Structure 1
Amino acid sequence: MAKELRWAVLGTGVIANEMAQALEQMGKSLYAVGNRTHEKAVAFAEKYHVTKVYDDFHEMFTDPEIDIIYITTPHNTHIEFLRQALANGKHVLCEKSITLNSDELNEALQIAEKHHVILAEAMTIWHMPLYKKLWEIVSSGELGKVQMIQLNFGSYKEYDMNNRFFNINLAGGALLDIGVYALSLMRSFMAETPDQVMSQVRFAPTGTDEQASIILMNKEQQMAAITLSMHSKQPKRAMISCEKGYIEIMEYPRADKAIIVDAASGAVTPVEAGETKRALEYEMRDMEEAVQSGDVSRMHMPFTGDVMNIMTDLRKNWGLVYPEESRKTE
């Protein structure tokens, strides 16, 4: 019988709450919680009947009772916590964007390999049953080759430069927060990663990327066009155009339904799988299975690496450097 895995969560924000609720749906309870503000961790523990609260959240990394840590803190803190968790033999599921750049991700992967643990990004797209079904349909060839992918994601955030979405000290901006979803979906339907990338960007007063348009193409000449905004609402809409038809998906980060439109007849075929509200449960079930079986393929880390490479190169072209990154080069 497989060992019962014990989860800890770092952070007590929206995702941490969803994570605790997902564990309850799995018939489990969260074992431990840590937060910079101890009082918030205590309140969180009371709300979800968490067994252990750390006086100092760093104790989580060395606690022998913990198997998997879910990191839900801001992007700029991830690498520091990944180093500690992985080096102490903890498996880690880390919120997107998993790191700030490719160098950080490669470092974290090397630590995970050295200590024989699994590191994965909490990217809902890798785990939603709908995408597993759509990937099978595309792989079967019944729609022909994927030719063009179009992706929109626009949020209307309060235009407050202290808001984390515009805060450069918290690695805010459209690319790492919402662009990572679009690029991940794109990568999952492409035969190989793009090697040609062009973009335009508009910056917020803080220097974060407020809006961007990105055009990409790979060696197979599959193309993608992505538009992102933190200050202009757009539908979260994906269109995967193939030779014999197209797939349309709305609210794609946690989608549970899509339609396939036949190119010749216009016939519409609905596709449904999974439930949007169970998104974090699907992530965590896949993570547990990866830990129990050692099969890391379900976590799609090569795709995560490809996406991180694209985002790192885009920011280099934009001249967008976060404070942590500039300090490392001084």
Structure 2
Amino acid sequence: MRELKWATLGCGVIANQLEQALERNGRKLYSVANRTHAKGVAFAEKYGIGKVYDEIDDVFADPDVDVIYISTPHNTHIGFLRKALAAGKHVLCEKSITLNSDELDEAIALAEANHVLLAEAMTLYHMPLYRELDRIIAGGELGKVKLIQMNFGSYKEYDMANRFFNRNLAGGAMLDIGVYALSCMRWFMSSKPDRIVSQVKAAPTGVDEQAGILLTNPDGQMATITLSLHAKQPKRGTIAFENGYVEIYDYPRGERATIHDTTGAVVREVEAGDTANALAYEVADMEAAIAAFEAGESGEIPADEAAAKVEGLLHLGYTRDVMDMMTEIRRDQWHMTYPEEE
């Protein structure tokens, strides 16, 4: 597998974790793009990265860049995605990947037209714990999934200029933390929910501060999700099966789960992966997906085999399902929109 050159677009917390993940494998980011050039320079100096662009858009024209990691605010994603994908760059984009389904459909079409890969940086899709749980579930001992409960509550101070509550920065619980809960739910559901009811409490700025969501799919599996930006909840998921249930702790970057029988007794503890390596798992899967994609493009392996490998690593289908659900709930049910959607 050839060594890919990664560029970061944005140099906040996630960009720091990305560089640290690469360094664990003896590598470095190739380049840095940031709206504020001085911050980009400071980031590059911190890690000894050799290239910082004078203008943020210069990253798209750099022929040496293979993959761009976008970690800017939600409402800037589609603008950068248009430029990166049109320039023929593979993209790993922070969640939420776009504001709504229309934007995501556009980005996917651009990726396909320009023969590159697009993926959302949804950490849980890459954590070894979920693959181990899949293996256990496939063994049949737990039976079929019946009910799922996902909680995610953060306590954020009431600062309405903060990005969490700021409508002009695409704030709100759904895009910031709801995306994790829905993604985890989708991982365990056999199909996308087609019936959704919800309630919401708005923050003074008009974005969603707190919500309760009930979802049912065509197979009769049900899920409940509770979200809050102003009330702490544990990041805990419970998946109830016919023959027991699984509890996952700190599920966005989960490394530990407990399997219980129908009496509630613990059957076994499951541990896999390391939360600290979450970005490293993402990078590894993205690079493996690019290798499979390029093998399919060159004819080295059949195109359908390549596509299956890519989907099994990046789960863009789940990303699309989750974005459809978030759009229906936020825009169609709650009638909450952002300036970019008006």
- Equivalences for residues 73-84 of structure 1 within 5 A: 73-84=72-83
Contact between 2:207 and 2:336, CA under 8 Å: does it hold in 1? yes
SS at match of 1:306: helix
Residues 1:177 and 2:176 aligned together: yes
- Change over 3 Å in CA distance of 1:35–1:193 after alignment to 2: same
Partner of 1:186: 185
Q: Distance in 1 between matches of 2:192 and 2:67?
A: 30
Q: How far apart, in 2, do the equivalents of 1:267 and 1:20 lie?
A: 39
Q: Give yes or no for the alignment of 1:120 onto 2:122.
A: no
User: What SS is found at the alignment partner of 1:53?
Assistant: coil
> What SS class does the counterpart of residue 109 from structure 1 fall into?
helix
- State the alpha-carbon separation in 1 of the partners of residues 4 and 157 from structure 2: 39
Deviation at 1:268, TM superposition (A): 2.8
Cα deviation for residue 264 of structure 1 reads: 4.9
Alpha carbons 2:244, 2:264 under 8 Å: kept: no
Maintained 8 Å contact 1:180/1:307: yes
Residue equivalent to 1:247: 246
TM-score normalised according to structure 2 size: 0.94
Aligned residue number for residue 283 of structure 1: 282
Partner of 2:300: none
Aligned: 1:302 with 2:301: no
1:264-286 deviations in whole A, cap 9, x for unaligned?
57243000100000001101110
* AA of the residue aligned to 2:70: I
Contact 1:249/1:257, CA 8 A, preserved across alignment: yes
Alpha-carbon shift at residue 49 of structure 1 (Å): 1.1
Quote the Cα distance in structure 2 between the aligned partners of 1:240 and 1:216: 14
Quick check: 1:61 aligned with 2:77? Answer: no
How far apart in 2 are the matches of 1:70 and 1:27?
19
- Residue in 2 that maps onto 1:52: 51
Find the counterpart in structure 2 of residue 155 from structure 1. Answer: 154
After TM superposition, list the pairs within 5 Å mapping 1:188-267 onto structure 2: 188-264=187-263, 266-267=265-266
Counterpart-to-counterpart distance in 2, 1:159 and 1:185: 28
Q: Distance in 2 between matches of 1:11 and 1:21?
A: 15
Q: Is the 8 A contact 1:244 1:264 kept in 2?
A: no
Q: Given the alignment, which residue of 322, 325, 329 partners 2:341?
A: 325
Q: CA RMSD in A?
A: 0.9
Distance 1:136 1:185 in 2: 16
C-alpha distance in structure 2 between counterparts of 1:296 and 1:187, whole Å? 18
**CA deviation string 1:192-225 (max 9, x = no partner):** 0000000000000111100000000001100000
- The number of residue pairs the alignment matches comes to 325
Q: Please state how far the C-alpha of 1:129 moved relative to its aligned partner.
A: 0.1
Distance (whole Å) between structure 1 residues aligned to residue 53 and residue 222 of structure 2: 48
Moved over 3 A (4+): none
Distance in 1 separating the partners of 2:321 and 2:138? 20
Asked whether the equivalents of residues 33 and 59 of structure 2 are also in contact (C-alpha less than 8 Å), the reply is yes
The code of the aligned residue for 2:122 comes to M
Q: Secondary structure at the match of 1:216?
A: strand
Is 249-258 or 132-141 further displaced after alignment? 132-141
| Secondary structure at 2:154 match in 1 | strand
1:323 alignment partner AA:
P
Mapped to 2, the partners of 1:176 and 1:265 lie a distance apart of: 33
| Counterpart amino acid of residue 51 in structure 1 | G
Deviation by residue 1:222-255 (Cα, 9 ceiling, x = unmatched): 0000000000000001000000110001111001
Superposition pairs for residues 17-36 of structure 1, below 5 Å?
A: 17-36=16-35
Which residue identity lines up with residue 184 of structure 1 in the other structure?
Answer: S
C-alpha deviation, 1:140, in angstroms: 2.5
What letter is aligned with 1:136?
Answer: R
1:97 corresponds to which residue?
96
The percent identity for this pair of structures is 62
SS, match of residue 314 in structure 1:
helix
1:258 maps to amino acid: A
Aligned-partner SS, 1:277 = helix
- Equivalent-residue separation in structure 2 for 1:162 and 1:265 (angstroms): 44
Structure 2 distance, partners of 1:267, 1:275, is 22
Separation in 1, partners of 2:259, 2:232: 25
The answer to whether the aligner puts 1:108 opposite 2:97 as a matched pair is no
Query: Aligned to 2:336, what secondary structure does the other structure show?
Result: coil
What is the letter of the counterpart of residue 220 of structure 1? D
Q: Distance in 2 between matches of 1:174 and 1:262?
A: 33
Distance 2:50 2:128 in 1: 31
* Alpha carbons 1:5, 1:68 under 8 Å: kept: yes
Query: Aligned equivalents of 2:239 and 2:34: distance in 1?
Result: 40
